[in-house]
Structure 1
Amino acid sequence: MPEGPELHLASLYVNKMCNGVVFSGPVIKSEVSKNPEVPFTCEAYRVTATSRGKEVKLTLTPIKSDGAPKRGAKAGQADLPVDVVFRFGMSGYFRFTGEDELPKHAHLRFYTREKPRRVLSFVDARRFGSWAPSGTWQPDRGPCVMFEYQSFRENVLSHLSDRAFDRPICEVLLNQKYFNGIGNYLRAEILYRLSIPPFVCARTVLEGLEPDDAFKNEKPLKKEFTKETKTKAMKQESGDLLRLCHTVSLEVVNLGGKGYDPTKTDYSDFQAWLQCYYVDGMKNVRDHNGRTMWFKGDPGPMAPKGSKSPKAKKRGKKDDDHDYTDKKKAIMSDSESTSMKKSVKKETPKKAKNVRQKEIVSKRGKAVKTQEVKPQSETRSSSRKRKSSSAEPAAGQQRRNRRVTRKDSK
Structure 2
Amino acid sequence: MPEGPELHLGSLYVNKMCAGVVFTGPVRKSEVSKSPDVPFTCEAYRITAISRGKEVKLTLTPMKSDEPKQRSKAGQADQAMDVVFRFGMSGCFRFTTEDELPKHAHLRFYSKETPCRVLSFVDTRRFGSWQPNGTWQPDRGPCIMFEYESFRKNVVTHLSDRTFDRPICEALLNQKYFNGIGNYLRAEILYRLNIPPFVVARSVLEGLESEDLFDNEKPVKAEVRDTKDSDRVKKVKKEMGDLLRLCHTVPLEVVNLGGKGYDPQKNDYSAFKAWLQCYYVDGMKSLRDHNGRTMWFKGDPGPMATKDLKSPKVKKRAMKTEDHDYTDKKKGARGGRAHERRRWSNRESKTAKKEEVSSLKETEESEKVKTPQQKKRTAARGRKTSCAEPAAGPEKRSGRVTRQSSK
- Give distance in 1, aligned partners of 2:217 and 2:146: 20
Percent identity at matched positions? Answer: 80
Q: Counterpart of 2:254?
A: 252
Deviation at 1:47, TM superposition (A): 0.6
Distance 1:11 1:76 in 2: 29
- Greater helix percent: which structure? 1
> Do the aligned residues in 2 keep the contact of 1:24 with 1:44 (CA within 8 Å)?
yes
Match of 2:138 in 1: 139
1:270 aligns with 2:269: no
Q: Which amino acid in the other structure matches residue 116 of structure 1?
A: P
* Selected match of 1:296 from 283, 295, 298: 298
Gaps of 5+ in 2: 221-239, 319-392, 398-407
**Aligned-partner Cα distance in 2 for 1:175–1:53:** 12
Count of aligned positions: 310
1:36 counterpart residue number: 36
For 1:304 and 1:257, the matched residues in 2 are separated by 39
Contact 2:41–2:76 under 8 Å retained in 1: yes
- Aligned residue for 1:167? 166
Contact 1:257 1:270 in 2 (8 A): no
Contact kept, 8 Å, 1:174 with 1:182, in 2: the verdict is yes
Q: CA deviation at 1:270?
A: 0.9
**How far does the alpha carbon of each residue in 1:33-87 deviate from its partner, in whole angstroms, 9 at most, with x for none?**
00001010101011111000000000101110237x5586232211111110000
Supply the distance in 2 between the matched residues of 1:301 and 1:30 (Cα, whole angstroms): 48
Larger of the two Rg values belongs to structure: 1
Deviations 1:343-396 (A, max 9, x none): xxxxxxxxxxxxxxxxxxxxxxxxxxxx99xx9xxxxxxxxxxxxxxxxxxxxx
Give the superposed CA RMSD. Answer: 2.7
The equivalent of 2:243 in structure 1 is 241
In the superposition, relative to structure 1, how do residues 257 and 188 fare at CA in structure 2: closer, same or farther (>3 Å)?
farther
Q: Distance in 1 between matches of 2:6 and 2:139?
A: 21
Is the counterpart of residue 57 in structure 1 residue 57 in structure 2? yes
Kindly state the Cα deviation for residue 215 of structure 1 after the two structures are TM-superposed.
4.6
Q: Secondary structure at the match of 2:118?
A: strand
In 2, the alpha carbon distance for the partners of 1:15 and 1:28 equals 20
1:306 Cα deviation (Å)? Answer: 2.7
Q: Which has the higher strand share?
A: 2
Q: Give the alignment's TM-score, normalised by structure 2.
A: 0.71
Equivalences for residues 56-75 of structure 1 within 5 A: 56-66=56-66, 70=69, 73-75=72-74
Residue 261 of structure 1 corresponds to 263
Equivalent residue for 1:125? Answer: 124
* Residue in 1 that maps onto 2:148: 149
TM-aligned CA distance change 1:304 to 1:21, over 3 Å: same
Cα distance per residue 1:176-218 (max 9 Å; x no partner): 00000000000000000001100111111111101011358xx
Structure 1 residue 6 and structure 2 residue 6: aligned?
yes
Q: Which runs of 4 or more aligned residues in structure 1 lie more than 4 Å from their structure 2 counterparts after TM superposition?
A: 69-72, 233-238
Once residues 269 and 180 of structure 2 are traced to their aligned partners in structure 1, the CA distance between those partners, rounded to angstroms, is: 21
- Quote the Cα distance in structure 1 between the aligned partners of 2:190 and 2:168: 9
- For the pair 1:177 / 2:173, whether they are aligned, the reply is no
**Relative to 1, partners in 2 of residues 1:258 and 1:241: Cα closer, same or farther, differing over 3 Å?**
farther
Aligned residue for 2:192?
Answer: 193
Task: Please report how far the alpha carbon of residue 257 of structure 1 lies from its aligned counterpart in structure 2 after TM superposition.
Answer: 6.7
CA separation of 1:177/1:310 partners in 2, compared to 1, >3 Å: closer, same or farther? closer
SS in 2 for 1:259: helix
Look up the match of 1:279.
281
Residue type of the alignment partner of 2:65: S
